[in-house]
């Protein structure tokens, strides 16, 4: 069997055109343009690319974007002062602090400083708590993008066994919680695996849907996948042969039923859901 490609970019384009339409309606009704303020500390090349892509996506959807660039030597108080200013600025609806932050800055302290109403990454503890309780204000962009892909491609989630490989706060953990919630897009039986999991291949082979977010190039091989399974590769790894996922795409596509490519899979969906959250934030604040 050769897996069908799950074209995340096409689904993301669809979502983005829906958001552009909804944004135009919002602007016409309220006379206010949603605005995302991105904060970039330091000169990490990958972060610069991510922020540029997010800004470009905003502009193409009718959302204003601002970039606040701070030097790599910025101290925590300086960054907190900027966030405080953005929290109080009524023209700004969403605040995105691009991670990672330099080592002198306490990431969790900074993420907690963002107003929960402007927290379009959904990293603030209040928004995490609401998501866990099944009454989300914002959903974190990457797992939300994966969930949208599954829903829009009519992949059965309810009752399916989903194995999430990775338990980070930004991908694995929220992904598992979202897919196990009651209701549409949820009701899955979820197993979460990580670096201390015993017999990883034995567990991943049980997955109807395998979501991989570990940050290890081509880690998941064909022998770890059940024939016909849906494989979602969240990984982005820079290698000598270019960008590759956490899944050995060429091998796994011979076993899986459906698979996301890297690039062109989950990445564009993450950006689309950021736009979704920025529009939602503007709605909440007006
Ligand atoms: P992370 O914070 O580094 O977490 C990695 C997780 O994988 C941890 O839970 C770790 O387990 C687990 N892990 C690592 N090695 C493992 C192994 N050999 N066996 C089993 N589990 C293992 O990573 P992340 O932020 O979630 O990102 C994961 C990947 O997704 C990265 O490639 C990142 O670039 C990519 N990403 C993509 C997008 C997108 O938009 N497409 C967004 C975010 C991230 P422990 O907890 O036990 O250490």
**Sign of the C-alpha dihedral, residues 187, 193, 194, 197?**
positive
Q: Which atom of ligand 1 is nearest to the CA of 246?
A: 32
Query: Which residues sit opposite 193 in a β-bridge?
Result: 165
In tens, the pLDDT along 190-234 reads: 999 999 999 999 999 999 999 999 999 999 999 999 999 999 999
pLDDT score, position 11: 98
- β pairing state of 209-212 and 230-233: parallel
State yes or no: pLDDT of 265 exceeds 80.
yes
Q: How far, in Å, is the centroid of ligand 1 from the Cα of 166?
A: 5
Q: Which atom of ligand 1 is nearest to the CA of 237?
A: 32
| Percent of the chain residues past pLDDT 70, beyond the cut | 100
Residues with CB under 6 A from ligand 1: 142, 165-168, 170-172, 193-197, 200, 213-216, 234-237, 246, 266-267, 270
State yes or no: pLDDT of 246 exceeds 90.
yes
Catalytic residue positions, numbered = 54, 98, 121
Residue among 45, 50, 172 to mutate when testing ligand 1 (max atoms within 8 A of CB): 172
Residue among 147, 213, 261 to mutate when testing ligand 1 (max atoms within 8 A of CB): 213
Phi/psi at 110 (5° precision): -70, -45
Residue among 8, 207, 210, 234 to mutate when testing ligand 1 (max atoms within 8 A of CB): 234
Please write down the HEC assignment for all residues of 208-226: CEEEECCCCCCCECHHHCC
State yes or no: pLDDT of 25 exceeds 80.
yes
Full-model pTM: 0.98
Confidence of residue 1 (pLDDT cuts 50, 70, 90): confident
105 touches 79 (CB < 8 A)? yes
Q: Which atom of ligand 1 is nearest to the CA of 219?
A: 18
What's the CA gap between 27 and 8, in Å, rounded?
A: 28
279 touches 24 (CB < 8 A)? no
| Percent of the chain residues past pLDDT 90, beyond the cut | 99
CA-nearest residue for atom 19, ligand 1, is 195
């Amino acid at each position: 069997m050769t897996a069908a490609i799950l074209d995340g970019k096409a689904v993301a384009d669809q979502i983005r055109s829906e958001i552009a339409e909804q944004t135009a309606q919002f602007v016409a009704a309220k006379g206010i343009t949603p605005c995302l303020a991105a904060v970039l500390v330091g000169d990490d090349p990958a972060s610069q690319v991510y922020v540029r892509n997010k800004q470009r996506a905003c502009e193409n959807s009718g959302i204003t974007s601002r970039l606040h660039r701070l030097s790599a030597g910025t101290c925590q108080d300086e960054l907190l002062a900027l966030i405080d200013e953005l929290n109080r600025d009524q023209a700004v609806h969403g605040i995105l602090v691009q991670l990672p932050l330099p080592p002198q800055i306490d990431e969790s302290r900074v993420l907690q400083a963002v107003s929960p109403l402007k927290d379009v990454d959904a990293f603030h503890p209040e928004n995490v708590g609401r998501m866990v309780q099944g009454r989300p204000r914002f959903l974190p962009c990457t797992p939300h993008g994966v969930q949208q892909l599954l829903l829009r491609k009519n992949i059965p989630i309810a009752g399916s066994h989903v194995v999430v490989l990775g338990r980070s706060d930004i991908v694995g953990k929220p992904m598992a919680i979202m897919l196990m919630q009651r209701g549409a897009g949820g009701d899955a039986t979820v197993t979460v695996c990580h670096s201390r999991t015993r017999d990883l291949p034995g567990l991943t082979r049980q997955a109807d849907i395998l979501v991989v977010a570990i940050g290890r190039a081509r880690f998941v091989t064909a022998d770890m996948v059940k024939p016909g399974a849906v494989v979602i590769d969240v990984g982005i790894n820079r290698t000598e042969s270019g960008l590759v996922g956490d899944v050995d795409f060429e091998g796994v596509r011979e076993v899986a039923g459906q698979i996301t490519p890297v690039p062109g899979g989950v990445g564009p969906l993450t950006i689309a859901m950021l736009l979704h959250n920025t529009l939602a934030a503007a709605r909440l604040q007006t």
